[in-house]
Amino acid sequence: MVPDLTKSAQTPILIFLPKGAADAIATKLAEHGYESTVASSIPEVFDALRSDRYVLAVTTRPDIDIVRNIRSIPVVNLEVFFHAVLSSGGLVTSSKQFDDTGFLQRIKALTEPRTSRTEVSQTELTSNGTAGADARWASRWLASARSLLGTYFAASAKS
């Protein structure tokens, strides 16, 4: 079951895909309270993006540049949410499964107002007083590891 990620007041999401696929994605978004508009041709996308109504677009990898050349908005690449399905023998089959939970979480992250994202991250940092110390410790540890590995690889190259 997919969690309900309903948003109250929002601007619509532009879906730039072939008609059948776009309708399926629009239905999935509508089920979770997101308003969307389908555009299946370049002239439709051009007109839609000139309106400044949309907070983001959903499309596939070949069309990302088209969207970004018209207007610079966040674009969700739908292809990354399709994953290979393993057969009972552990072999990868040619069919793929859509990760609707991951897709909806990405949509939520991109449509959520930045102020609430900042408030959440600040709350998490202040709730754990050692967050800053942990980050500094991790940074020092990483720098030491890089230094040691660099010395190791330099010595190996000379031999």
Rounded Cα gap, residues 111 and 128, in angstroms:
27
β-strand pairing of 92-98 with 82-86: antiparallel
pLDDT tens digits, 87-105: 777 676 667 889 999 999 9
Q: What is the DSSP letter of 51?
A: T
Tokens matching residue 112: 């959520």
Structural class in CATH, domain 13-112 = alpha beta
Give the global pTM. 0.64
Give residue limits of the domains in the chain.
Answer: 13-112, 122-158
Q: CA geometry: angle at 28 spanning 27 and 29, to 5°?
A: 90
Rounded Cα gap, residues 100 and 127, in angstroms:
31
What does residue 93 show for φ and ψ, rounded to 5 degrees?
-95, 170
Asked if pLDDT for residue 155 goes beyond 80, the answer is: no
pLDDT tens digits, 23-45: 999 999 999 999 999 999 999 99
